[in-house]
């Protein structure tokens, strides 16, 4: 029987999907900060890795006319999102096998950045049980809801919507 079961795969899917949902939301927030149409923010930010996008949004936030409280909220959301990068990357890029705890799994692989292969997964990566993976997916869901509430509640969605309309009107 494989170490990774259907419930683990479902949690993996939720984590990767919700991580991407928040990434999309962060790009929407960037459009709101810059007060530009969404498509322009998407095009401009498309080449960015999640890590670079996080830094761009934090920098743009600090330069913005947003209130201190709004700036802090964006920086906190983006920081919380970034905290999931390691797990998301392990799900997307590493093989998983049985962990050290009963019914647990852990990511394994090899790092070559030092110029020599170094096996990883035996000691430095934690193992995960199904309930912990599900809890991480739930945290991402809640963070996504928080980001959506901020985007709409701050008026950014309205600003971006207006910029989208202006762009549509000048494009014809």
Q: What is the pTM of this model?
A: 0.89
pLDDT tens digit sequence for 2-19: 689 999 999 999 999 999
pLDDT tens digit sequence for 90-136: 999 999 999 989 999 999 988 787 788 877 765 556 899 999 999 99
Instruction: Give the pLDDT confidence score for residue 114 in this predicted structure.
Output: 79
Q: Which element (helix H / strand E) includes 129?
A: strand 128-129
Sequence spans of domains, the chain: 6-91+130-171
Q: How many contiguous H segments (helices) and E segments (strands) does the chain have?
A: 7, 4
How far apart (Å, rounded) are the C-alpha atoms in residues 101 and 86?
20
Instruction: Give the pLDDT confidence score for residue 2 in this predicted structure.
Output: 64
Place of tokens 């995960």: 128
In three-state secondary structure terms, 70 is helix
Phi, psi of 129 (to 5 degrees): -100, 165
Place of tokens 């909220």: 73
Contact 74, 54 (CB under 8 A): no
Instruction: Give the pLDDT confidence score for residue 55 in this predicted structure.
Output: 96
């Amino acid at each position: 029987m494989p170490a990774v079961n259907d419930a683990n795969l479902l949690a993996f899917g939720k984590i990767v999907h919700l991580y991407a949902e928040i990434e999309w939301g962060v790009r929407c927030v960037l459009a709101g900060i810059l007060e530009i149409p969404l498509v322009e923010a998407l095009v401009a930010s498309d080449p960015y890795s999640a890590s670079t996008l996080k830094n761009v949004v934090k920098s743009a936030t600090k330069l913005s006319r947003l209130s201190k409280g709004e700036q802090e909220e964006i920086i906190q959301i983006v920081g919380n999102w970034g905290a999931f990068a390691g797990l998301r990357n392990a799900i997307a890029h590493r093989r998983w096998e049985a962990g050290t705890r009963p019914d647990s799994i852990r990511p394994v692989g090899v790092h070559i950045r030092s110029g020599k292969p170094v096996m990883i997964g035996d000691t430095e990566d934690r193992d995960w049980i199904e309930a912990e993976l599900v809890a991480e997916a739930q945290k991402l869901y809640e963070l996504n809801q928080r980001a959506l509430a901020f985007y709409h509640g701050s008026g950014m969605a309205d600003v971006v919507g207006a910029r989208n309309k202006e762009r549509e009107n000048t494009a014809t």
